[in-house]
Chains A and B, each alone.
Chain A
Amino acid sequence: KQEVTQIPAALSVPEGENLVLNCSFTDSAIYNLQWFRQDPGKGLTSLLLIQSSQREQTSGRLNASLDKSSGRSTLYIAASQPGDSATYLCAVTQGGSEKLVFGKGTKLTVNP
C-alpha cells in the first residue's frame, strides 16, 4: 500500500528566504506526482505536475524535483512571500490506478 510522508509538518520562515519542502513515497511505481496548495477552509490548487519520466518542473518561483527510484520529491520555493503561507500537499498517482494518494501536508508560514 502506497504511503506518502511529508516533512516537516510545519515550517515558519522570514520573508525572502528560500525553502524546501520534502515528500517521500514508499512505492516507486508511480505514474505522476502532483504538488498542491491549500489555503485555510479552501480547496486544493494544483501547483505542479511531474510525470514519472520527468526529473523536475518549474513554475515561477516554484521548482519541483522527482527522484522516482529513491521515492522522493522536493518543492523549492524561492524568495518566499507572506502570500505563500498555506498548507502544501504532495500526492502520487500509482501506476494502474487513477486515484491520488496524499501526504498530510506541510503548513508553511512566511512572516513579514
Chain B
Amino acid sequence: GAGVSQTPSNKVTEKGKYVELRCDPISGHTALYWYRQSLGQGPEFLIYFQGTGAADDSGLPNDRFFAVRPEGSVSTLKIQRTERGDSAVYLCASGRTLYNEQFFGPGTRLTVL
C-alpha cells in the first residue's frame, strides 16, 4: 500500500477486556513506532521497533501494554485488562531507518466503557 494502515479504525470495549490493534507499515520501512494521543494533546511515544526487536519500549505505561512485530513488518499493540484511562487514539508510524522522517497512519480510536 501507499501509506501506513491501521485496523480497526475504531474500537469500543468494556473495562477489563483485552484488545489488539494492528499496524501495517509502508513497505520496506524497517522502523516502526507506536504513539498514543489523548484529546487536546500531542502524541506520546510508546514503543519503537527496528526490524523485529523492540529497540525502545520506555514509553509503555505499564505491563498491561505489550507490542510485537514478529516478521519485521506488521505490528500488533496488545492491551490487557483495559481501563477507562486507556481511551485514546493509538497512532502507528514507520520510517526507512534511523532518524528518518516518520510517516503516520490514520490511527485507531480506542474507547473503554
A79-98 CB contacts (< 8 Å) to partner B? 89, 91, 93, 97-98
Interface residues on B, range: 20 to 34
B42 and A49 contact, CB distance less than 8 A: no
- With CB as the reference atom, state the residue of chain B lying closest to A97: B56
Please measure, in the bound complex, the distance between the C-alpha atom of A103 and the C-alpha atom of B42, giving whole angstroms. 6
A31 and B43 contact, CB distance less than 8 A: no
Residues on B with C-beta less than 8 A from A98 are 31, 33, 48, 50, 55-56, 98-99
A19-44 CB contacts (< 8 Å) to partner B? 31-32, 34, 36, 41-44
Contacts from B to A (Cβ < 8 Å): 4, 6, 31, 33, 35, 40-45, 48, 50, 55-56, 58-59, 91, 93, 98-99, 101-107, 109
Contacts from A to B (Cβ < 8 Å): 4, 31-32, 34, 36, 41-46, 49, 89, 91, 93, 97-105
